Structure 1
Amino acid sequence: MNDARPVTRIQQKNRTAILEAALDVFSLNGFGGATVDQIAGAAGLSKPNLLYYFASKEAIYSALLSGLLDTWLDPLREVDPEGEPLEELLAYVRRKLEMSRDLPRESKLFAIEIIQGAPRIGDELSGSLRALVDEKAAVIESWIAAGRLAPVNPHHLIFSIWSMTQHYADFDVQVRAVLGAREPDPFPGAERYLEQVFTKMLTPSA
């Protein structure tokens, strides 16, 4: 669909159904393992109908990824340089954990893209992502210099937050298998644990 005519309600519904189905298929199989036929079947559409909206599997994948990085960066953008340092960083941890709970397919899709070498979002990673991380790392460094946080490497702190929160989406099956009936919902316990870890790590010495 490349013309400039207004999109009808049915067209918007079908486009949304395709992207939802594609998210399921890509997050399970990756780009290489997914097919247009699989996506069309999951969306309840014929292959020719799907190709009316998206010219190729690549076009569908690119449409999904285009909004994904922004979604991933939004919680980091919300870290306020004027806020209380520890509370700002704990709020960031909570927001990232909430994303793992609420957007597990998106997390898996992003992880697959990164593991494959980020062939489609590499420029964004070394551009907008790096610029934002550098900006927030400078904020963390200023808090440390003012004695408001314990000394840590700010970039590796951000990496740790990513890995420790996204683990609960990307390795959900493993987490739930280990916890079993003791903790059928791992997220409340994960939140308490991560707050304890980062509070102890980041609180300045008296």
Structure 2
Amino acid sequence: MKDNEVSIGAQNRNKILNAAEKEFALNGFKGARVQSVADRAGLPKTNVLYYFKSKEVLYVAVLDEILRIWNGQFDSATAEDDPAAVLAQYITDKMEISRTRPYASKIFALEIINNAPNLDEFYTGQIEWMNGRVAVIQSWIEAGKISVKDPYCLLFNIWATSQHYADFSAQITVLKGKKFDKAAYKNATKELISLILNGCGLTVPNEYR
């Protein structure tokens, strides 16, 4: 019974977080309503407030989830790893998140545009993460494995190009004349991997061509 209760609790939290992701992306923090999140999740408002005590707590939880899924496997990359394989997979992961979780990217973009008022407590962890990833890339540079001068610029460019497909999806749809579907994402991912890796003096691994 206890395991079942835990499972139901986890399911409800996921429903709420998914609903909140869409609500915050469409309406921003100020315009979002807990009742609307509950309606999207198909749960009573009291259930939402049982798991997340306020709109602020829920919003922070959504931001935390966004940062968690974005970092992914790149968290464990080391100086000994092949930079081509690591970066190709990181770009693939980022593009897949843009395809499957576009609202997550839009929430983060809105937060940054508004001077990140709710990200103060996250920045300490993110700075530590960034320092660790920059150190790995710098070790590749010093070992002559990658022709990049600034690790920060490399990461910023990966973020900018991959998240563009989520944040500017409406523009892409208009300019392409049709919705950017799964096949289009697959082709765009290959192009992006090729552009970035070739720019870094790396050969694209066969499985990413």
Query: Which category of TM-score, normalised to the shorter sequence, fits these structures?
Result: 0.7 to 0.9
- Aligned pairs (5 A) from 1:126-137: 127-137=124-134
1:96 alignment partner in structure 2: 94
TM-score scaled by length of structure 2: 0.81
1:173 alignment partner in structure 2: 170
Deviation per CA, 1:43-77: give whole Å up to 9, x if none: 33444454344332112212222333222222331
Structure 1: distance between partners of 2:7 and 2:87: 41
Structure 2: distance between partners of 1:68 and 1:202: 27
Counterpart of 1:150, as a letter, is: S
Tell me how far 1:12 sits from its aligned partner: 4.8
How many percent identity over aligned positions? 37
Tell me how far 1:36 sits from its aligned partner: 2.0
8 Å CA contact 1:21–1:43 kept in 2: the answer is yes
2:138 alignment partner in structure 1: 141
Out of 159-168 and 11-20, give the one that drifted further: 11-20
Tell me how far 1:88 sits from its aligned partner: 1.8
Question: CA RMSD of the aligned region, Å?
Answer: 2.5
Counterpart of 2:71, as a letter, is: L
Counterpart of 2:185, as a letter, is: F
Residue segments in structure 2 that go unaligned for 5+ positions in a row:
203-209
8 Å CA contact 1:21–1:42 kept in 2: the answer is yes
1:3 alignment partner in structure 2: none
Tell me how far 1:197 sits from its aligned partner: 0.9
Which of structure 1's runs of 4+ aligned residues deviate more than 6 A? none
- Aligned pairs (5 A) from 1:44-83: 44-83=42-81
Structure 2: distance between partners of 1:197 and 1:13: 40
Residue segments in structure 1 that go unaligned for 5+ positions in a row:
1-5
Q: Quick check: 1:124 aligned with 2:122?
A: yes
Counterpart of 2:87, as a letter, is: L
8 Å CA contact 2:77–2:136 kept in 1: the answer is no
Secondary structure of the corresponding residue to residue 120 of structure 1: coil
Mark the structure with the bigger radius of gyration.
1
Out of 138-147 and 48-57, give the one that drifted further: 48-57
Counterpart of 2:138, as a letter, is: E
Tell me how far 1:176 sits from its aligned partner: 2.1
TM-score scaled by length of structure 1: 0.82
8 Å CA contact 1:73–1:129 kept in 2: the answer is no
Tell me how far 1:181 sits from its aligned partner: 4.4
Structure 2: distance between partners of 1:53 and 1:144: 45
8 Å CA contact 2:52–2:58 kept in 1: the answer is yes
Structure 2: distance between partners of 1:48 and 1:183: 38
Structure 2: distance between partners of 1:183 and 1:103: 14
Closer/same/farther in 2, CA of residues 145 and 45 from structure 1, 3 Å limit: closer
1:153 alignment partner in structure 2: 150
8 Å CA contact 1:175–1:186 kept in 2: the answer is no
